[in-house]
């Protein structure tokens, strides 16, 4: 493997920005499928892949989510071409015989409901991070958000399932509307140590 060039690193990290404004251009379904097909290869513990992605593209679906959001998030959801609910499936162990066949019976490791929920939340969060980077790799902008009523979203979108909401991400082609100056980041010595 070789290091990505500066332009690729800028697109993924150093120049990429959280967007609040969106161009009206829709994102075609083949692009959404291509996005998922990149995300699915990101590593998770035991290849558990507990994330479930609900792509909201219709005005009606986005309005249902916007009604459950906080502050200015509703307007951002309504304006974005697509907003994705990143959820996690508490029944993810049921797929482990297929997804992690080199260790039959791995699903039995998650008999404890609390441990299962921690694993599902942690690994779906990883997958949500992969989603953001994959979207950027495809030339899309992203606007991740956590300001919404999780219980309300679960009731509205995941009733009768074993899926719970984690966070949401709007995607599309961003504008500079309400684009804040880049905020500082912690430097290495403030956030990391080498032992």
Mean pLDDT, rounded, for 153-167 = 98
Q: What integer pLDDT is reported at residue 103 of this predicted model?
A: 87
Q: pTM of this prediction?
A: 0.95
Instruction: Give every CB contact of residue 34 below 8 A, 6+ residues apart in sequence.
Output: 138
Pairing between β-strand 163-172 and β-strand 82-89 as defined by DSSP bridges:
antiparallel
Nearest-angstrom CA–CA distance, 155 and 25: 30
Domain ranges, ordered by start, for the chain: 28-158
Residue of 59, 72, 70 lying closest to 19 (CA atoms): 72
Q: What integer pLDDT is reported at residue 178 of this predicted model?
A: 87
pLDDT digits (tens, 9 = 90+) for 172-188: 999 999 888 889 999 99
Largest CA distance in the chain: 52
pLDDT digits (tens, 9 = 90+) for 70-122: 999 999 999 999 999 999 999 999 999 999 999 888 889 899 999 999 999 99
- For 20, 50, 132, 135, 168, the CA distances from 125, given in Å and listed in that order, are 21, 9, 11, 15, 11
- In percent, the amount of the chain with pLDDT more than 70 equals 100
Nearest-angstrom CA–CA distance, 127 and 131: 6
Topology given in CATH for the domain delimited by 28-158: NADH Oxidase (3.40.109)
């Amino acid at each position: 493997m070789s290091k990505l060039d500066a332009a690729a690193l800028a697109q993924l990290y150093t120049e990429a920005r959280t967007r609040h404004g969106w161009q009206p251009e829709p994102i075609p379904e083949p692009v959404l499928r291509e996005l998922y097909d990149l995300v699915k290869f990101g590593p998770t513990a035991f290849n558990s892949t507990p994330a479930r992605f609900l792509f909201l593209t219709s005005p009606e679906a986005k309005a249902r989510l916007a009604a459950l959001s906080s502050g200015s998030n509703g307007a951002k959801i309504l304006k974005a071409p697509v907003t994705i609910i990143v959820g996690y499936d508490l029944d993810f162990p049921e797929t482990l015989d297929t997804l992690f066949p080199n260790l039959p019976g791995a699903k039995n490791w998650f008999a404890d409901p609390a441990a299962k929920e921690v694993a599902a939340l942690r690994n779906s969060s990883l997958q949500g991070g992969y989603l953001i980077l994959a979207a950027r790799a495809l030339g899309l902008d992203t606007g991740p958000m956590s300001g919404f009523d999780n219980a309300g979203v679960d009731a509205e979108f995941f009733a009768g399932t074993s899926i719970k909401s984690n966070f949401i991400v709007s995607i599309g082609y961003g504008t500079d509307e309400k684009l804040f100056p880049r905020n500082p980041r912690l430097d290495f010595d403030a956030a990391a140590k080498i032992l």
